Amino acid sequence: MNTQPLRPHTARSLVTGILFGASLLSAAASAAPQDQALQVYSRVAGVKPSAETLVELADEDLATVAYAAMEDDAFYNVTLKNLATPWTNREQDVFAPLNDYTATVIGMVRDDVDFREVLYGDILYTGNVSGLPPYSNSNNDHYEALENGGYSLKDNLVRNTQSSVTGLPAEATAGVITSRAAAKSFFIAGTNRAMFRFTLVNHLCRDLEQVHDTSRPSDRIRQDVSRSPGGDSRVFQNNCIGCHSGMDPMTQAFAYYDFTYDADTDPEGENGQLDYNSAGETDPITGSRVKAKNHINSANFPYGYIVPDDRWDNYWREGPNMYLGWSSSLPGGGYGAKSLGEELANSRAFAECQVTKVFRQVCLREPEDATDRTLIDTVADDFSSNGYSLKQVYADTAVYCAGE
């Protein structure tokens, strides 16, 4: 398997030196070189380097130390797994088993894939180890065996197309959104709004309360949302509309998806699978490609919006949520999960979110002050303009936090 070589140190890698001058560098330099190298390596890889490695790295610049740490198996088996695993389940449990969502994130970082593809690529990483159970659309045995066997994820993940492995049409793939793990957690039952909400939480670092906007039109809010909860229409106007007016038009991108399972014999959906209505398939309840779950509880407000297809539109391109930084090169609407993933992944909020999550993990704290926020902005700029490499984010952030 090809491995990524250590990236040469460049001026932009030393983002702290560019931004914050000699004062910050001298603060970082207050620790002995070996102590700084040990800290950077340990925070990036999640384990300490060997004594020999530490001696070799003591005289290297800290960006080189960070990239050396990213060659350690533990960076993939520990650091990246801990980063991505909470994104795969509603409980945000970091101890959940390895799955196709987590493995795909890990493989993308290893291969320096444009990280925006996490929300729209026809991409899936599987284990390349003899004797593993094959990938299955209806269980997680392949990944659990890979993890339980203690195999190196750095050395034993292989890139595939999702469409070739799962049979999902290429145009219906949307990175981890259409992974089995995400479908099991967020397409199961309900109305598919959970998939939108958790994609927002995990990849734009915003929950619905933070994007609440009652100024958007309510014309795409579905029938299942009462316009007078508890008999009081003011609740709808001042509360419900703030989320649903923006969420429902975008969640429509998932109209053809469901997670099918036997609720009687398999209530947790452990043996369920992602189900997609391709062109020509008709749901017996709706009489169209739209899954029946999109039309449930229609009696709550019969005059509400009836989902006819997977056309989505981003109403948040206007109003306060325009500051999420939507790309001017995209139309702000389209059909299906893939184009919605592109809309989300090309936002400024997406770039800043990835940097913020890495900051928390490497610096062991939240961004606290103006200097931290400047760092987030600058690394997000670098991330966006240089191929969306998450390795670069780890290196820049580790350099910034050195000596803390």
Segment among 31-45, 157-171, 288-302, 317-331 with least mean pLDDT: 31-45
Mean pLDDT of all residues in 372-392: 98
Do 193 and 224 touch, CB atoms closer than 8 A? no
What pLDDT shows up at residue 31? 52
Q: What percentage of the chain reaches a pLDDT higher than 70?
A: 92
Is 231's pLDDT higher than 50? Answer: yes
What pLDDT shows up at residue 12? 43
What pLDDT shows up at residue 130? 97
Do 81 and 98 touch, CB atoms closer than 8 A? yes
Task: Sort 287 into a burial class: Cβ within 10 Å, 0-12 / 13-18 / 19+.
Answer: exposed
> Is the pTM value of this prediction over 0.75?
yes
Distance CA 270, CA 248 (A): 28
Q: Looking at the DSSP assignment, which residues form a beta bridge with residue 275?
A: 258
Distance CA 371, CA 209 (A): 27
For the chain, the average pLDDT equals 93
Do 283 and 292 touch, CB atoms closer than 8 A? yes
Distance CA 45, CA 59 (A): 19
Question: What does the pLDDT look like over 13-24, one tens digit per residue?
Answer: 444 444 433 333
Distance CA 1, CA 224 (A): 50
Distance CA 272, CA 320 (A): 39
With CA atoms as reference, report the closest residue to 99 among 164, 147, 134, 132.
147
Question: What does the pLDDT look like over 70-105, one tens digit per residue?
Answer: 999 999 999 999 999 999 999 999 999 999 999 999
Helices first, then strands: H and E counts in the chain: 18, 6
Question: What does the pLDDT look like over 96-142, one tens digit per residue?
Answer: 999 999 999 999 999 999 999 999 999 999 999 999 999 999 999 99
What pLDDT shows up at residue 404? 86
Task: Say which residues have a Cβ less than 8 Å from residue 265's Cβ, sequence separation at least 6.
Answer: none
Q: Would you state the structure tokens that stand for residue 31, as one six-digit string?
A: 């620790």
pLDDT band at 26, cuts 50/70/90? very low
Is 299's pLDDT higher than 80? Answer: yes
From residue 374, alpha-carbon distances to 206, 210, 352, 400 in Å are 20, 21, 11, 11
Query: Half-sphere exposure of 399 toward its Cβ, with a 13 Å CA cutoff?
Result: 30
Do 123 and 108 touch, CB atoms closer than 8 A? yes
Distance CA 165, CA 118 (A): 17
What pLDDT shows up at residue 6? 40
Higher-confidence residue: 7 or 292? 292
What pLDDT shows up at residue 403? 82
Q: Would you state the structure tokens that stand for residue 371, as one six-digit string?
A: 């200097």
Distance CA 253, CA 301 (A): 22
Distance CA 393, CA 400 (A): 11
Determine the 3-state secondary structure of 209 from DSSP.
Answer: helix
Question: What does the pLDDT look like over 326-380, one tens digit per residue?
Answer: 999 999 999 999 999 999 999 999 999 999 999 999 999 999 999 999 999 999 9
Distance CA 39, CA 57 (A): 12
Q: Looking at the DSSP assignment, which residues form a beta bridge with residue 274?
A: 259
Distance CA 211, CA 229 (A): 21
pLDDT band at 286, cuts 50/70/90? very high
Do 362 and 401 touch, CB atoms closer than 8 A? yes
What pLDDT shows up at residue 5? 40
Distance CA 364, CA 370 (A): 17
